[in-house]
Amino acid sequence: MALAQSLADTGQRGVIINADSAQVYADLRVLSARPSDAEMAGIEHRLFGAWDGSQACSAAAWATRARTEIAACHAEGAVPILVGGTGLYIKVLIEGIAPIPEIEPAVRAAVRAMDDDAAYKLLQIEDPERASELDPGDRQRIARALEVKRSTGVTLGDWQLAKAGGIGDTVNLFPLIIEPERAWLYERCDARFAAMLESGAIEEVEALLARGLDPDLPVMRAIGVPEIAAYLAGTIDAERMIAAGSQATRNYAKRQFTWFRRQPPPEWARLHPTWEYESIDFTPHFASLLRL
């Protein structure tokens, strides 16, 4: 927001484009902390709530839409500002994606039926390089790597050598990675989940459950949804639900730290704030962009 407002001060128009895998879903206004109209403060926002929960939004699907929005911004003379913590989305947009064939349904079902520990141990045997890059608790990416190897006979890393469709060579990038102090961030994670419960998260999950969606859809596995669903089903009490939701949020933040430490190019600028997030002045990091 601060960057978009600074651009406006120089006579330019900034458009904020969502790059968060939860905020893409219309069904997750509260649990994804999607910005409200008031928080948007008159700045145009795109790809927020753009997918219905019944449709899975993959990194490739998001990148396709993001490319269209970025091109539209350029055609309109606006500056696209990508914001979000889903590093894979941004990586696919910039570098492209591998043309991996459809996974055999039987292979996918078998892999998804494995418990987390078994899947990770098998990945260590069948694709040790990918296993070394993943957190043992990152169930989704472990399953993806394992099913690709078993279905195609080729590791995910080898497929990714044939990437196509990236825009990294056709646009000017002004990247900035924010790495706040972990202890402070984890406290915010706990406060965030509590605030969501007070703002209607339980009612949001009730509405989701009423739709009868496939439990394997991403929207049904979003942080907070399984925990609140278990509470609504009576299998856990409120205290355990809050503890589980807060822990899941902290675990995700930890995976983000790991991903952004390893994946982006080393020359990308990084900011390590030790004070309140809202007080950070980002504009010095985008001085060259503001002078365009």
What is residue 159's predicted lDDT score, i.e. its pLDDT?
Answer: 87
Confidence of residue 99 (pLDDT cuts 50, 70, 90): confident
For the stretch 155-201, pLDDT in tens is 998 987 877 889 998 999 999 999 989 999 999 999 999 999 999 99
Beta carbons of 150 and 119 less than 8 angstroms apart? no
Considering only CA atoms, which of 222, 210, 280, 212 is closest in space to residue 249?
222
What is residue 282's predicted lDDT score, i.e. its pLDDT?
Answer: 64
What is residue 276's predicted lDDT score, i.e. its pLDDT?
Answer: 58
For the stretch 121-140, pLDDT in tens is 999 999 999 999 999 989 88
Distance between alpha carbon 71 and the CA centroid of its chain, in Å?
22
* Fold that domain 2-98+163-290 belongs to in CATH: Rossmann fold (3.40.50)
The three-class DSSP label of residue 186 is: helix
Domain 99-162 in this protein, CATH class: mainly alpha
Beta carbons of 150 and 143 less than 8 angstroms apart? no
Angle 51-54-58 (CA atoms, 0-180°, nearest 5)?
Answer: 55
Backbone angles phi, psi at 107, to 5 degrees: -65, -45
Cα–Cα dist 94/113, whole Å: 33
pLDDT surpassing 90 at residue 208: yes
First-to-final CA distance of the chain: 18
Q: Please report, as a single letter, which amino acid is at residue 67.
A: R
pLDDT surpassing 90 at residue 220: yes
Highest mean pLDDT among 82-86, 91-95, 99-103, 224-228: 224-228
Token digits of residue 57 = 């939004």
Who's near 215: CB < 8 A, 6+ residues apart? Answer: 221
Distance between alpha carbon 69 and the CA centroid of its chain, in Å?
18
Q: Domain-by-domain residue ranges, the chain?
A: 2-98+163-290, 99-162
Token digits of residue 7 = 């651009």
pTM: 0.80
Cα–Cα dist 1/270, whole Å: 18
The residue whose two tokens read 């900011």 is 271
